[in-house]
Chain A
Amino acid sequence: MAEKSKRTQVEDVDRSLYDFVKSEEGYERYADGLTPDIVRAISAKKDEPQWMLDLRLKALEIYQDKQMASNWGPSIAGLDMDHISTYVSPKTKQAKDWNDVPKDIKDTFERLGIPEAERESLAGVGAQYDSEIVYHNMREEVAKQGVVYTTIEDAIHDPKWEPVVREYFGTLIPPTDHKFAALHYAVWSGGSFVYVPEGVHLDYPLQSYFRLNAQGAGQFEHTLIIVEPGADLHFIEGCSAPKYYEANLHAGAVELFVKDHARLRYSTIENWSKNMYNLNTKRATVGEDSKMEWVSGSFGSHVSYLYPTTILKGDRASCEYTGITFSGATQDLDTGCKFILLGKDTNVSADAKSISKDGGVNTFRSSVFVGKDATNARATVSCSSLMLDDISRSDTIPQMDIRNNTAQVGHEATIGRISDDTILYLMSRGCSEAEARTMVVNGFADPVSKELPLEYAVEMNNLIKIEMEGAIG
């Protein structure tokens, strides 16, 4: 008699698309560990104003004082800051033409398909390699509309934008938020500054791609986006890294300001290598009659702590969150979302999915807070988890705190596996078991991929295919 749910072994997956290493020869690399001198050196390298250096040093103190919570979340015991370099930079200047980018770096981004995507479907691209942005460009017609898409460093050195950065930087995610937010502010480098003027709608997305090539290093980019009243932006963020046996760290911060009657969609395909500690923080504040949309695909990292937070301050503000997390062998991904509903008639809809296989651990964690004045607030959080084998784990830990008696809040979650009947049905129609399972998983992920531009949906489906190939036979 055939064994139920029989699985066969498959050779290791070819992840060469993402898993290739370039030499660090000639790179500027600061000593491992974290000291005030290193923080000062980063600041001096960027020729920053005093207020930024003060912020960095204060953040370092906070980092050293704060403890990680011991009662929740995956272990980060394998992360030793004494073996992490917080600043690694290739010897190159930021370019506006891919031909001006050093060959090995250009080759990296070409293999990742960034220049091609830029030509075909993007309004602008920023590409970060280790600690610095190596390429930044935006279509001329977009610039003519008054849109600013540059690095935080460049914005700080522009007298027109320095006061704006100073007004917003670090206000939505303060350094006191948690230990790794403090670390971020101490050593941040790279990232994006985006300003979309009032009433401007971008027809094509902007994209930033983050590549961490260096071994035993951290990436700490800061993204600051301001969408003025009546404006509309789609921003895409991608990230990847080659795999090492030494821990790498990503502790970025994303601060999004969506003013009244505006809309921002923030899409992420995260594919860090499986030696990465991804301790990232993302937060948006949303004004009156405005909309924030998060689309998130998390595939990589050894450990993740990632919970995009949306503060619905304005009346009738709304937020949609659509996310999928795929956790395989050696991965412990703690992801989810947070919503703070403060305005009247605010509305939240969240649809989260997770897939666990090969001993991977997925935790969906969420919180919905409805404030005392959020009359007629509405929130629905839905979470579905798919278990592909009996050695993996999937936990769902939502929390709701409701302080207004007119609020309507719902939460639902389901955890289960692909039914044998479904697989049998598809196999009876000529699919192999692997194909059948991949089809089911792709269908499960479809609500997320359909929210992405075509090229990114294809990338996400490819990632699922790669992951599934390792699991099934």
Chain B
Amino acid sequence: MASYTAEEPTVTLERVNTPPAQTWNYLKTNDITLTVPKLSRKGDVYFALPRLFDKVETGMGQKVTDWVTSQAADSTYVEVKAGEKNHAPIVVDVDSNAGTVQDAGVLVRQGASATVVVVAHGTSAEPQTSAALVRIIVEEGAHLSLVEVVATTDAHHHLESVGIHADAGATLDIRQFLLGAGVTALGTCATLAGDNGRVSLQTHYLGEHEQTLDINHVVRMAGKNGRAEVHENGILNDSARKSLRATIDLIHGGSGSKGNEAETVLVNGDGVVNKTMPVILCDEDDVQGNHGATIGSVEPEQIDYLMDRGLSRDEATNLFVRALFDDALIEADQPLARKAVFERAQQVLGAEVAQNLLDTLGLELAADAGEKDADAQATATATKESAD
């Protein structure tokens, strides 16, 4: 086996995670520049995804794709056979403690149904950079459920670039829970290439301390009668910095399509920097595009109401954070994902409150959740299926 040599310890990915349409550069909202590890894999021969995946546009862009594919120890390809409805969840396990970089491709064949879970998790205080590149092709009439969890620590930087290409009649249900990392850079691009495609993209985020969240969502609506619902809601505490770019691109020829985008942000910290750029691009007349953004704090009356019932100010605002973890624990029901959410809840809300959340919801953590062997087995099984 070839050894890894660190010829260049780091590399700068300049101006990545860019939206299709940009604005004034002095606003510093168009992109993010990231410094990431750079390993040289001289002499390695490693598995790459089928060329089919080259057509999948990703949220963070080609520079990040090139970096991940040069860094990932291997690529994981999973194919869900036509018509298959009960495929085991496909888990992309990103161990942030170890600085894991994952490159995964999933092909959901015609009429099939697949669940993909991407979990970036870690609890260590050692600086690390992890990443996941996930490209998915959803064929005609197929359904994809994608759950993404980022639940690491302030010491970790995590990049997640997702691209989904959907054919006619495909439906996409995407749930993202960004619960913590020193830097989270997330890009999602969903292309409804065929007619009657559907995408529901919901992002829930929490930023605190001096964390940075950089999110770039792009929904391309190329087919006729497409439907897109993009909703982001989040809480920003302390001195967290967040940039959200959300683009609905109504492409010429996609007549009858409708796209809605809405963001709700709760700002609690005095040092918060909250940037939002919701974009609609429209190249077709027979379409509807809407977006809205609401940015505000908890009204003093609402806080007073809760304080009247015996809660302190911190407890009152924490209710909103708790509600976010509630959602994450319910939606991220895959064992590794749920464990990651629980561990992050312990860090943010304290062990007692975290346990209380589980108890209140009547949930339990699976005994083997997060054990590497179990995950490896799930992924290996899927890979083998496709190889067969």
Footprint of B on A, CB under 8 Å? 69, 71-72, 363, 365, 367, 385, 387-390, 392-403, 405-417
B282 within 8 A of A: yes
Please, how many angstroms separate the alpha-carbon atoms of A402 and B297 in the complex?
11
- A interface footprint on B282-310 (CB within 8 Å = 1, 0 otherwise): 11111111111111110000000000000
Please, how many angstroms separate the alpha-carbon atoms of A414 and B280 in the complex?
9
User: For A363, what are the chain B residues with a Cβ–Cβ distance below 8 Å?
Assistant: 21
B272 within 8 A of A: yes
| 13 intermolecular pairs with C-beta atoms under 8 Å apart | A71-B22, A393-B283, A396-B291, A397-B23, A399-B23, A400-B277, A401-B273, A402-B265, A405-B267, A408-B295, A409-B296, A410-B294, A415-B250
Write the nearest CB–CB distance from B364 to chain A, whole angstroms: 37
Please, how many angstroms separate the alpha-carbon atoms of A398 and B275 in the complex?
11
Write the nearest CB–CB distance from B294 to chain A, whole angstroms: 5
- Contact between chains at A411 and B292 (CB < 8 Å): yes
Total of A-B residue pairs, C-beta within 8 Å: 137
Other-chain residue from B18, B30, B267, B277 in contact with A398 (beta carbon distance below 8 A) = B277
- Contact between chains at A405 and B282 (CB < 8 Å): no
Other-chain residue from A367, A390, A393, A414 in contact with B288 (beta carbon distance below 8 A) = A414
Write the nearest CB–CB distance from A123 to chain B, whole angstroms: 36
- Contact between chains at B23 and A415 (CB < 8 Å): no
Other-chain residue from B23, B272, B287, B288 in contact with A403 (beta carbon distance below 8 A) = B272
Please, how many angstroms separate the alpha-carbon atoms of A396 and B278 in the complex?
8
Q: Looking across the interface, which residue of chain B has its beta carbon closest to that of A414?
A: B290
User: For B275, what are the chain A residues with a Cβ–Cβ distance below 8 Å?
Assistant: 399-402
- Contact between chains at B27 and A367 (CB < 8 Å): yes
Other-chain residue from B269, B295, B297 in contact with A400 (beta carbon distance below 8 A) = B295
Q: Looking across the interface, which residue of chain A has its beta carbon closest to that of B279?
A: A397
Please, how many angstroms separate the alpha-carbon atoms of A72 and B15 in the complex?
14
- Contact between chains at A396 and B280 (CB < 8 Å): yes
User: For A405, what are the chain B residues with a Cβ–Cβ distance below 8 Å?
Assistant: 267-270, 272, 297
Write the nearest CB–CB distance from A424 to chain B, whole angstroms: 15
**New contact pairs (6) apart from A400-B275, A415-B287, CB-CB < 8 Å:** A399-B23, A399-B29, A405-B272, A407-B297, A413-B280, A414-B290
B322 within 8 A of A: no
User: For A413, what are the chain B residues with a Cβ–Cβ distance below 8 Å?
Assistant: 278, 280, 289-292
User: For A407, what are the chain B residues with a Cβ–Cβ distance below 8 Å?
Assistant: 267, 295-297
Given A71-B22, A367-B23, A406-B297 in contact, is the A399-B276 Cβ separation under 8 Å?
yes
Footprint of A on B, CB under 8 Å? 18, 21-25, 27, 29-30, 250, 252, 255, 265, 267-270, 272-297
Write the nearest CB–CB distance from A299 to chain B, whole angstroms: 20
Other-chain residue from B21, B272, B289, B291 in contact with A416 (beta carbon distance below 8 A) = B289
Q: Looking across the interface, which residue of chain B has its beta carbon closest to that of A376?
A: B297
The 5 closest A-B pairs by CB, nearest first: A387-B285, A415-B289, A412-B292, A409-B295, A417-B285
Other-chain residue from B255, B290, B295 in contact with A402 (beta carbon distance below 8 A) = B295
Please, how many angstroms separate the alpha-carbon atoms of A342 and B229 in the complex?
34
Given A414-B289, A416-B287, A417-B286 in contact, is the A400-B276 Cβ separation under 8 Å?
yes
Interface of A is mostly: strand
Other-chain residue from B24, B265, B267, B278 in contact with A72 (beta carbon distance below 8 A) = B24
Please, how many angstroms separate the alpha-carbon atoms of A408 and B293 in the complex?
10
- Contact between chains at B281 and A395 (CB < 8 Å): yes
- Contact between chains at A401 and B24 (CB < 8 Å): no
- Contact between chains at A410 and B295 (CB < 8 Å): yes
User: For B295, what are the chain A residues with a Cβ–Cβ distance below 8 Å?
Assistant: 400, 402, 407-410
- Contact between chains at B297 and A390 (CB < 8 Å): no
Other-chain residue from A394, A401, A402 in contact with B267 (beta carbon distance below 8 A) = A402
- Contact between chains at A395 and B296 (CB < 8 Å): no
Q: Looking across the interface, which residue of chain B has its beta carbon closest to that of A410?
A: B294
- Contact between chains at B278 and A398 (CB < 8 Å): yes
- Contact between chains at A399 and B274 (CB < 8 Å): no
Write the nearest CB–CB distance from B248 to chain A, whole angstroms: 9
- Contact between chains at A400 and B293 (CB < 8 Å): yes
Given A396-B279, A410-B294 in contact, is the A402-B23 Cβ separation under 8 Å?
no
Q: Looking across the interface, which residue of chain A has its beta carbon closest to that of B245?
A: A399
- Contact between chains at A395 and B280 (CB < 8 Å): yes
Q: Looking across the interface, which residue of chain A has its beta carbon closest to that of B259?
A: A415
Write the nearest CB–CB distance from B264 to chain A, whole angstroms: 10
Q: Looking across the interface, which residue of chain A has its beta carbon closest to that of B298?
A: A405
Please, how many angstroms separate the alpha-carbon atoms of A322 and B275 in the complex?
24
Please, how many angstroms separate the alpha-carbon atoms of A415 and B279 in the complex?
11
- Contact between chains at B282 and A385 (CB < 8 Å): yes
- Contact between chains at A410 and B21 (CB < 8 Å): no
User: For A403, what are the chain B residues with a Cβ–Cβ distance below 8 Å?
Assistant: 272-274
Write the nearest CB–CB distance from B255 to chain A, whole angstroms: 7
- Contact between chains at B285 and A388 (CB < 8 Å): yes
Please, how many angstroms separate the alpha-carbon atoms of A385 and B292 in the complex?
14
User: For B284, what are the chain A residues with a Cβ–Cβ distance below 8 Å?
Assistant: 387, 390
User: For A69, what are the chain B residues with a Cβ–Cβ distance below 8 Å?
Assistant: 24-25
Please, how many angstroms separate the alpha-carbon atoms of A271 and B364 in the complex?
68
Other-chain residue from B21, B255, B287 in contact with A395 (beta carbon distance below 8 A) = B21
Q: Looking across the interface, which residue of chain A has its beta carbon closest to that of B286?
A: A417
Q: Looking across the interface, which residue of chain A has its beta carbon closest to that of B247?
A: A397
Other-chain residue from A396, A401, A410 in contact with B274 (beta carbon distance below 8 A) = A401
User: For A397, what are the chain B residues with a Cβ–Cβ distance below 8 Å?
Assistant: 21-23, 277, 279
Please, how many angstroms separate the alpha-carbon atoms of A295 and B23 in the complex?
23
Q: Which of B21, B269, B273 neighbours the largest number of chain A CB atoms within 10 Å of its CB?
A: B21
Please, how many angstroms separate the alpha-carbon atoms of A228 and B18 in the complex?
44
Write the nearest CB–CB distance from A401 to chain B, whole angstroms: 5
Write the nearest CB–CB distance from B20 to chain A, whole angstroms: 10
User: For B270, what are the chain A residues with a Cβ–Cβ distance below 8 Å?
Assistant: 405
